[in-house]
């Protein structure tokens, strides 16, 4: 499991003003937090945290050490280069309702939707070919059956003479089961390394020996999609996918000077803040969202 830290005053990294006296003039409270974790456009978790009403109470935007909120127990497989994290602090009731329960209509020609459809067609075709490769090469007592473990860059001659005898718990009958086992044993280094080598072997075998089959599967799936638009319509109706576009498209403006004038201290007591963090392949072990 991983953790994500939401930082309400990350001034050492992101602010032009670093003088402590000047920063104190900007101090305010964080009474409320909404965050959402998206992976490949799918909402994995969205949560509203009423900090003011919690045991910890409101947090600070200024020089106080209590300026962070940490979310624990994030599944590690939610975090990769397709992960985006959004956060909004001190949203009013209208904005909070919009982010938590609002709706978004995705147009048929939306570029990200079209990319999603194409990616799924590719994934489905790849899965069909991997099923065949697993049936032929990963069902014997010692695997791969032919004793050849391929490596990148893919070439028929790029392989080592390698086999394993997998315990029953680690065996798999098809690609879906293989992916499930990879997630199940993700924290066991030895089998994780073997599964990674098998993943590369499957990729190389597809390119070297089954590329024609792969292209045929893609063509057939594309024809089906062009006829019934089943994949497109599925994602258009997916609530988690809709929520991604809702969060990406949301804009909020307010007159900060007017709010400050109405405050006795001429400051922002509960400033509205937003944070965003897109992960890369080499994301840090401690994720901070300013």
Q: Which residue has the higher pLDDT, 285 or 198?
A: 198
* pLDDT of 255: 52
Q: Is residue 100 included in any domain, yes or no?
A: no
In a domain, 98, yes or no: no
In this structure, the dihedral spanned by the alpha carbons of residues 175, 180, 185 and 187, taken in order and rounded to 10 degrees, is 110
Q: How confident is the model at residue 22 (pLDDT cuts 50, 70, 90)?
A: low
The CA-CA-CA angle for residues 87, 82, 225, to 5°, reads: 120
**Distance from C-alpha of 9 to C-alpha of 63, rounded to nearest angstrom:** 8
Give the integer Cα–Cα distance in Å for 206 and 150. Answer: 11
For residue 23, the model assigns a pLDDT of 53
pLDDT of residue 119: 95
**Do both 136 and 196 map to the same domain?**
yes
Average of pLDDT values for 137-147? 97
Are 151 and 208 in the same domain? Answer: yes
Counted residue by residue, the chain has a size of 290
Q: What is the pLDDT of residues 231-248, one digit of tens each?
A: 999 999 999 999 999 999
179 is in which domain, residue-wise? 111-234
Nearest to 49 by CA among 15, 115, 100: 100
* 131, 204: one domain: yes
| Residues 6 and 75 reside in one and the same domain | yes
In a domain, 27, yes or no: yes
Q: What is the pLDDT of residue 12?
A: 47
CA 270/CA 91 separation, integer angstroms:
9
Q: What percent of the chain has pLDDT over 90?
A: 59
Give 144's pLDDT tier (boundaries 50, 70, 90): very high
CA distances from 134 to 141, 181, 201, 203, 272 (A): 13, 14, 10, 11, 53
Rounded to whole angstroms, the Cα distance separating 30 from 25 reads 15
pLDDT at 17 over 90: no
What confidence tens digit (pLDDT) does each residue in 82-116 have? 999 999 988 889 999 999 999 999 999 999 999 99
Question: Residue 143 falls within a domain, yes or no?
Answer: yes
Residues 72, 9: one domain? yes
Q: Which secondary structure element, helix H or strand E, spans residue 160, and what is its range?
A: strand 159-161
> What is the C-alpha to C-alpha distance for residues 89 and 275, in angstroms, rounded to an integer?
8
* C-alpha distances out from residue 72 to 96, 271, 287, Å: 22, 25, 11
Q: Residue 243: inside a domain, yes or no?
A: no
DSSP secondary structure string for all residues of 121-154: HHHHHHHHHHHHHHHHHSSSSSBSTTSEEE-SSP
If asked whether residues 149 and 220 sit together in one domain, one would say yes
> Whole-model pTM above 0.85?
no
Report the pLDDT averaged over residues 126-130: 98
Is residue 97 one of the residues assigned to a domain? no
Same domain, 259 and 224: no
What CATH number does the domain containing 20 carry? 2.60.40
Model pLDDT for residues 29-82, shown as the tens digit of each residue: 778 889 999 999 999 999 998 888 776 666 766 555 567 888 888 988 898 899
Indicate whether 192 and 285 sit together in one domain: no
| Together in a domain, 230 and 279 | no
Any domain includes 207: yes
CA dist 71 and 159 (Å) reads 43
**Residue 203, both tokens:** 């990729």
User: Helical H runs in the chain?
Assistant: 11-14, 20-24, 93-101, 111-137, 175-184, 189-209, 211-228, 230-237, 239-249, 256-261
Number of domains in the chain: 2
Same-domain status, 174 and 117: yes
Does 224 lie in the same domain as 117? yes
| Spatial contact of 152 and 81, defined as CB atoms under 8 Å apart | no
Per-residue pLDDT at 284: 65
**Cα 6 from Cα 68, distance rounded (Å):** 6
Classify residue 168: in a domain, yes or no. Answer: yes
pLDDT on residue 257: 54
Q: CA 101 to CA 117: how far, in whole Å?
A: 25
Residues 35 and 116 in one domain: no
């Amino acid at each position: 499991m991983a953790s994500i830290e939401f930082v309400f005053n990350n001034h050492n990294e992101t602010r032009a003003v670093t003088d402590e006296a000047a920063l104190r003039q900007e101090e305010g409270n964080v009474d409320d937090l909404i965050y959402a974790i998206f992976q490949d456009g799918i909402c994995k978790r969205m949560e509203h945290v009423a900090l003011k009403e919690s045991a910890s109470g409101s947090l600070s935007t200024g020089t106080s050490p209590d300026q962070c909120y940490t979310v624990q127990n994030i599944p590690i497989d939610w975090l990769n280069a397709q992960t985006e994290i959004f956060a909004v602090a001190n949203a009013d009731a209208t904005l909070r309702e919009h982010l938590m329960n609002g709706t978004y209509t995705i147009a048929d020609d939306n570029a990200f939707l079209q990319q999603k459809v194409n990616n799924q067609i590719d994934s489905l075709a790849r899965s069909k070919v991997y099923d065949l490769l697993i049936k032929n090469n990963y069902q014997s007592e010692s695997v791969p059956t032919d004793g050849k473990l391929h490596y990148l860059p893919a070439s028929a001659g790029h392989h080592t003479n390698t086999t394993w005898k997998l315990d029953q718990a680690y065996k798999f009958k098809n690609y879906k089961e293989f992916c499930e086992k990879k997630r199940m044993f993700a924290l066991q280094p030895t089998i994780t390394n073997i599964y990674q080598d098998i993943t590369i072997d499957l990729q190389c075998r597809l390119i070297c020996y089954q590329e024609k089959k792969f292209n045929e599967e893609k063509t057939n799936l594309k024809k089906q999609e062009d006829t019934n638009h089943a994949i497109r319509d599925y994602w258009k109706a997916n609530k988690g996918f809709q929520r991604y576009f809702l969060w990406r498209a949301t804009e909020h403006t307010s007159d900060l000077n007017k709010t400050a004038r109405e405050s006795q201290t001429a400051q922002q007591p509960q400033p509205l803040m937003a944070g965003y963090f897109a992960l890369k392949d080499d994301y840090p072990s401690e994720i901070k969202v300013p």
